[in-house]
Amino acid sequence: MAKIKPSKGAPYARILGVGGYRPTRVVPNEVILETIESSDEWIHSRSGIETRHWASDEETVAAMSIEASGKAIADAGISVEQIGGVIVSTVSHFKQTPAVATEIADKLGTDRAAAFDISAGCAGFGYGLTLAKGMIVEGSAEYVLVIGVERLSDLTDLEDRATAFLFGDGAGAVVVGPAKEPAIGPTVWGSEGDKSETIKQTVPWTDYRDGTVEKFPAITQEGQAVFRWAVFEMAKVAQQALDAAGITVDDLDVFIPHQANVRIIDSMVKTLKLPEHVTVARDIRTTGNTSAASIPLAMERLLATGEAKSGDTALVIGFGAGLVYAATVVTLP
């Protein structure tokens, strides 16, 4: 029996650079109120959202990803040709095939990087980060680009009072590369498919194609059910990620949860008993819920504003449609 040579990857992996892109159009709550019966006070109190960004026709999923990726690659201090993998998490790229990752890899100028899309909703960045870490440690790539990108304005029903105000567009990217010591902890991830109806697309694309329905498919959710699940279950997952990394809340510098709702974020902070010194990302106030893009966008903003700094220890957790989740502890680039 032939023996297969063992893989020769790096001992560990870390995030080396981060970049973000927010569309130029800023949409205040007043615009949302043109199509739903509500108030700015209600939207703000229920979600914390004041504004969000909506993409123009030119700000495609690929275009936003390329902008964010260019910044991440520059921040990492490597060349595009060194990128060996491109992982894109999105639910709003409307071509079933080919993967938008292949277009991004080509237009960035990578040297035939492996490229593929994943669909894990708001946990997609955590899924991509975990896959990238595995590729680097296994040795199939030296540097991997992980992108979370959404144009959720295309999947928003502006007449749905429960969701019309929630979603925004944008792209966030990180470069993951080799490290000499642990800088991305074990991932605690999973799914609860029995709750998949709580966040979903209203109808399949085929219903719209066949004329069964006239309204373009949109994202809908059972707000209270999602809120209860996120508040009570995701704090447990976050704690498990801390335990897996071998640290406590006192060791944390930064907490970057999925930007779904300020009330969910505040409840998790309380349940985890985070110390006052921990910086908490609340990028949702001006960016809205950008699903897979929300964590890298929030990370990029915290570093850009100086609220977080290179070398800080951060807990990141994403959760959403599926229902799926992923949490890990990372060292910030």
Any idea which residues carry the catalytic annotation?
A: 122, 258, 289
Q: Is residue 52 a contact partner of residue 167, using CB atoms and an 8 Å limit?
A: yes
C-alpha to C-alpha distance for 115 and 85, rounded to whole angstroms? 6
Bridge partner list, 313:
331
Q: Is residue 17 a contact partner of residue 74, using CB atoms and an 8 Å limit?
A: yes
76 Cβ neighbours under 8 A, 6+ residues apart: 16, 17, 143, 175, 177, 333
Q: Is residue 13 a contact partner of residue 176, using CB atoms and an 8 Å limit?
A: yes
Q: Is residue 320 a contact partner of residue 199, using CB atoms and an 8 Å limit?
A: yes
Q: Tell me 154's DSSP state.
A: G
Bridge partner list, 329:
315
Q: Is residue 242 a contact partner of residue 329, using CB atoms and an 8 Å limit?
A: yes
C-alpha to C-alpha distance for 238 and 104, rounded to whole angstroms? 32
